[in-house]
């Protein structure tokens, strides 16, 4: 959570930036306030990481708190830079074909495309498990019968933030999102550009943590 500073707190930060180290008494004098009035603001700025306090020396500007920096960086990561190759099956494929593809590719979700290559549906492990529990031969069951169709498919766009995609995965309790954009030929059809999974989010998180400190 990023703390929203008051105007007075921002003014205090600017004073410390310009003249630090500086004592609380001197900051209070600059603002024409008593030390007691200023104490809550200084406590907030210190606890949130903006300022550092040293006995008999005063306050130093410590920079922005880590939570603020991390939040800002997370909101700059774009889906387009992290999306993976989508694993697809054709609309005419059978449930058996889908199960084989699922295991060979070691994924939890398949994306179904129509004859023109546009996104037609999404099929999950649960969908295939449900189909396998029936009495029908899986070779005779087309994926078009068991897949989820629009508008029941949760998607994301390449210019969305990875944070927004991660929130969709959590909010809708799903394992994968198709990355799509409307077709220029037919805006109602969606071109499949990639996929974002929980693994994608984990890799991005590890990458952020692995960057060298400067």
Looking at the chain, the domain(s) classified CATH 1.10.10.10 span 5-62
Q: Is the pTM of this model over 0.85?
A: no
Nearest to 18 by CA among 46, 60, 68: 60
pLDDT in tens, 150-204: 888 999 999 999 999 999 999 999 999 999 999 999 999 999 999 999 999 988 8
| Residue 9 DSSP symbol | H
Report the CATH number of the 5-62 domain: 1.10.10.10
pLDDT in tens, 30-43: 999 998 898 888 98
User: What is the residue-wise DSSP string for 68-135?
Assistant: HHHHHHHTT-BHHHHPBPPPEEETT-BHHHHHHHHHHHT-SEEEEE-TTSBEEEEEEHHHHHHHHTSS
Question: 153: Cβ–Cβ under 8 A, 6 or more apart, which residues?
Answer: 119, 121, 122, 178
Cβ atoms within 10 A of the Cβ of 37, count? 12
State yes or no: cis peptide before 151, omega within 30 of 0.
yes
Distances in Å between the alpha carbon of 117 and those of 52, 91, 114, 124, 173?
58, 10, 5, 19, 27
pLDDT in tens, 90-123: 999 999 999 999 999 999 999 999 999 999 999 9
- Report domain 74-206's class: alpha beta
Looking at the chain, the domain(s) classified CATH 3.10.580.10 span 74-206
């Amino acid at each position: 959570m990023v703390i929203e500073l008051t105007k007075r707190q921002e003014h205090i930060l600017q004073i410390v930036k310009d003249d630090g180290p500086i004592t609380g008494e001197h900051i209070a004098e600059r603002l024409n306030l008593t030390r007691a009035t200023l104490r809550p603001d200084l406590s907030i700025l210190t606890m949130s990481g903006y300022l550092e306090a040293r006995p008999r020396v005063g306050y130093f500007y410590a920079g922005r708190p880590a939570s603020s920096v991390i939040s800002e960086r997370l909101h700059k990561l774009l889906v387009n830079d992290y999306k993976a190759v989508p694993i697809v099956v054709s609309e005419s494929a059978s449930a058996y074909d889908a199960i084989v593809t699922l295991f060979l590719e070691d994924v939890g979700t398949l994306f179904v495309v129509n004859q023109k290559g546009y996104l037609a549906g999404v099929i999950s492990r649960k969908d295939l498990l449900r189909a396998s529990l029936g009495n029908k031969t899986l070779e005779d069951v087309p994926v078009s019968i068991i897949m989820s169709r629009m508008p029941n498919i949760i998607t994301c766009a390449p210019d969305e933030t990875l944070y927004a995609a991660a929130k969709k995965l959590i909010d809708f309790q799903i394992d994968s999102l198709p990355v799509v954009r409307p077709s220029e030929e037919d805006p109602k059809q969606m071109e499949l550009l990639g996929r974002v999974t929980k693994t994608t989010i984990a890799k991005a998180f590890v990458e952020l943590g692995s960057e060298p400190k400067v």
